[in-house]
Amino acid sequence: MKLTSTKFFRTFSQPLWGNNPVSIQSLGICSALAVTVQLKTAVVMGISMTVVVAFSSLLISLIRNRIPRNIRIIAELIIIATLVILTDEFLRAFYYDISKQLSVFVGLIITNCIVLGRTEAFALSNPPHLAFIDGIGNGAGYSAALIMVAFIRELLGSGKFFGLKILPGIFYTAGYEDMGFMLLAPSAFIIIGLMVWLQKTWVKNDTK
Amino acid sequence: MENLISIFLNSVFVGNILLAYFLGMCSFIAVSKNIDTAMGLGFAVVFVLTITTPLNWMIYYFFLAPGALSWVGLPDLDLSFLKFIMFIAVIAAIVQAIEMVIDRFSAGLYSALGVFLPLISVNCAILGASLFMVEREYTFIESVVYGFGSGVGWMLAIVAMAALRIKLRYADIPKGLEDYGIAMIVTGLMAMAFMLFSGISF
Amino acid sequence: MFNRIKSLLFALVLCLICGSLLAFASKGLKNRQQDNITTDRQKNILKSVGLIKEEMTYTPDQIKTLFIDTIKRVSVDEAGRIIDEKENTEIPGSKIFPIYLYVQSDDSIAAYVIPIDTKGLWGKIHGYLSLGNDGSTINGFTIYKHSETPGLGGEIEKTWFQQNFVGKKIVDRHGAFVSLSIARGKVENNIPEDRRKNYVDGISGATLTGKFLTEGLKETLSSYEPVSIRFRKNNFRDYKQIEKKQR
């Protein structure tokens, strides 16, 4: 059997591209956009998100046969919230500057539809290792979308890449100016919209 | 008073919780296909936000904030790390309670709002407003006004969006951009329009 | 009935596990987090007096040593006198203001830093304003916490905005206190020539943040005015004298 057709691999690769949670399923954009002004915050946010989705899927899948049906959602929320708090505490202890910039958006991972969506739709009915991989895949898909938006916004908005000036000074002397608009909220919506367009056209051609 | 009006107007327009802080996007995209449902969800959000933001304020400042428990003789305790879990629990509980109360007393309101209420407990805007309220160190009254204002702002955005999407049905949009893609771009344009309010001195 | 008990038990155990995990983590990381906050404040104080450059990175230890070596925290009362904190905290109603002194190696005071805690458009704006030892020229300005709208009022945390403050005056040509204001738009286009020293460039689209910050600066600076006057009169130049008075 080819690697690309195992269930294991498909579980991981599906959410990365063909079924990306942000750009195809339109989930979890809430927290996604506000942190995309810089690549650094986007990357950290992506990693935090991946950790939370992966481990909440794993834990819930492990206890999926024991959770009483009637308190399922609240139990899931508690596990997710615990993981989010741990992530937040960790960031505040070791990456203070970034956690200051992310402010409330780490906390908002709790209500991010991707996390609850994956635990509900996948972890509850699949074994732990698949659930974990599914979590990582979805987290990575989310991060990929985030990083792409952040890359565009940081490059066009402040001429930087990971906080380093990469546009040569000659551009500026020749009259080029940073696009301040890219740093404002509306630009994120428009970039996502265009990304969706690009990807949908692409994915459609793939399947044909 | 002037301060409160300023908080209200700012949370509705310039600092619109959806268009400037991107909160509540999931249900915004999913439910904005029809004006009536958008209106219903909008009202539900206003309702829940106006109740949960001040309630979470009380919980935070009477139980969780550093030194908040001095009234039971524990001045050194700092439980603020529990705020995420408490806030989300309060929101979920309130939403459930509201659902039951409405169901019991007003069948009309229940049929209008009922279906939207479960959607709301995972709406980022609700949790977001509570977290911003802590972050910005609001007083109690300010938190009431902020909760209400954010709700109204969110409703305004989703109703306007629903109206625009109805118009879009008759537009000839490139394949692939349909639905979700164009919705994002329209939201972007709307966010831009809302930013213009920032030039106005309230 | 059995089901209900089972649900309840499950919820209880889950809460217990999660709760203890969180309490444990929070307790364990608390000191580190507090440390981070202290270092961040110290970094901002150092930045406001110009001892730290934006583009360089520093380890927390470097910041700590630099801070201990150069910055002394003292308190002043309403009349601008340096006071011994231990005595005065017991008198209710007496107002004490903290200031940070930038003491050079020869014990001369090069600058003093005033903490700014003021209302912004959304929440509080916290930062530091450093004034030179002439009591009127601004040395630097930093902001370490705010919740203004990103891209609009949020620009106050950017270097270009904070750099504006350097070299501005809080007094007019005749030496009378006027505070410092955020202009609407660029200073050179909107403010008459003789008052430009008292204005900094505003942020477009963030008129209100500017307004709040102007008010806050005025209020804070006027309560610190007695100290500034002493600096202007040359009373506060030598840290040794102050140390003596404190004892």
Residue A183 at interface with chain B, using a CB cutoff of 8 Å: no
The tens digit of pLDDT for each residue in B3-19 reads: 788 888 888 887 788 88
Q: Is the CB of A197 less than 8 angstroms away from the CB of B128? A: no
DSSP state of C120: -
Say which DSSP state A111 is in. G
Determine, for residues C25 and A86 on separate chains, whether the beta-carbon distance falls below 8 Å. Answer: yes
Q: Is A184 on the interface with C (CB under 8 A)?
A: yes
- The span from the CA of A53 to the CA of A112, in Å, is 10
Q: Nearest 5°: phi and psi at C98?
A: -80, 140
The full DSSP string for chain B is: -HHHHHHHHHHHTTT-TTTTT-TTHHHHHHHTTSHHHHHHHHHHHHHHHHHHHHHHHHHIIIIISTTGGGGGT-TT---GGGHHHHHHHHHHHHHHHHHHHHHHH-HHHHHHHGGGHHHHTT-HHHHHHHHHHHHTT--HHHHHHHHHHHHHHHHHHHHHHHHHHHHHTTS---TTTTTHHHHHHHHHHHHHHHHGGGGS--
State the smallest CA–CA distance between residue B95 and chain A in angstroms: 13
Both tokens assigned to C96? 């004490």
Say whether residue C15 is in contact with chain A using an 8 A CB cutoff: yes
Q: Report A:28-57 residues touching C (Cβ under 8 A).
A: 34, 37
Which chain A residues in 145-164 lie under 8 Å from chain C, judged by CB atoms?
none
Q: Do A93 and C3 touch (CB under 8 A)?
A: no
Q: Which long-range contacts (CB under 8 A, 24 or more apart) does C9-12 make?
A: C10/A66, C10/A67, C10/A68, C10/A71, C10/A75, C11/A71, C11/A74, C11/A75
Closest-CA residue in chain A for C37?
Answer: A96
Question: What are the tens digits of pLDDT across the range B142-170?
Answer: 999 999 999 999 999 999 999 998 888 88
- Give just the sign of the alpha carbon dihedral B179, B185, B189, B190: positive
Rounded CA-CA distance B140/C24 in Å is: 31
Q: Which residue has the tokens 């908005």?
A: A157
- Structurally, how many domains does chain B consist of? 1
Residue B73, both tokens = 């003789």
Q: CA-CA distances (angstroms) from residue C16 to A115, C6, C21, C206?
A: 22, 15, 8, 47
Q: Residues of C with CB below 8 A from B4's CB?
A: none
**Chains meeting A at 3+ CB pairs closer than 8 A?**
B, C
Written as one letter, the residue type at A69 is R
Nearest CA in chain A to C7: A68
CB proximity C27 to A under 8 Å: no
Chain C partners of A66 at a C-beta cutoff of 8 Å?
A: 10
Residue A81, CA distances (Å) to A28, A55, B62, C236 in order: 16, 12, 21, 53
Min Cα separation C193/chain A (Å): 28
The confidence score (pLDDT) of residue B50 equals 93
User: From A68, which residue of chain C is nearest by alpha-carbon distance?
Assistant: C7
User: Quick one: pLDDT at residue A208?
Assistant: 42
Q: What is the pLDDT of residue B51?
A: 92
* pTM for the full predicted model: 0.83
Q: Count Cα atoms within 13 angstroms, Cβ side, for B127.
A: 32
pLDDT at A47: 92
pLDDT at residue A5 in the model: 64
Q: What percentage of residues in chain B have a pLDDT greater than 90? A: 19
Calpha distance B40→A128 (Å, rounded): 39
- Ranges of residues in chain B whose predicted pLDDT is under 50: 202
From chain C, the residues in CB contact with B138 under 8 A are 123
CA C172 to chain centre: 24
CB contact under 8 A, C150 and B20: yes
- Which residues 75-94 in chain A show a CB within 8 A of chain C? 75, 78-79, 81-82, 85-86, 89-90, 92-94
- Distance of alpha carbon B117 from alpha carbon B99, whole angstroms: 7
Q: What is the CB-side half-sphere exposure of residue A94 using CA atoms within 13 A? A: 8
**What pLDDT does residue B114 have?**
65
In this prediction, residue B199 carries a pLDDT of 61
Task: Tell me which residue range forms the domain holding B165.
Answer: 2-199
Question: Would you call B81 and C22 a contact, using CB atoms and an 8 Å cutoff?
Answer: yes
Q: Which among B133, A184, B28, A153 has a CA at the least distance from the CA of C149?
A: A184
Per-residue pLDDT of chain C (247 residues; tens, 9 = 90+): 677 888 888 888 888 998 888 888 888 888 888 888 888 888 888 888 888 777 777 888 888 888 888 888 888 877 777 776 555 455 555 677 888 888 888 888 888 898 988 888 777 889 999 988 888 888 889 988 887 777 677 788 888 888 888 888 888 888 888 888 888 878 888 778 778 888 888 887 777 788 888 988 998 888 888 888 888 887 776 676 666 655 5
Task: Tell me which residue in A89, A110, A186 faces B188 most closely, judged by beta carbons.
Answer: A186
Contact (Cβ atoms closer than 8 angstroms) between residue C124 and residue C116? no
Q: Which residues in chain A show pLDDT less than 50?
A: 208
User: Is there a contact between B23 and B17 (Cβ–Cβ < 8 Å)?
Assistant: yes
Query: Could you tell me where the DSSP H helices lie in chain C?
Result: 2-49, 60-70, 85-88, 159-163, 187-190, 207-223, 225-232, 239-246
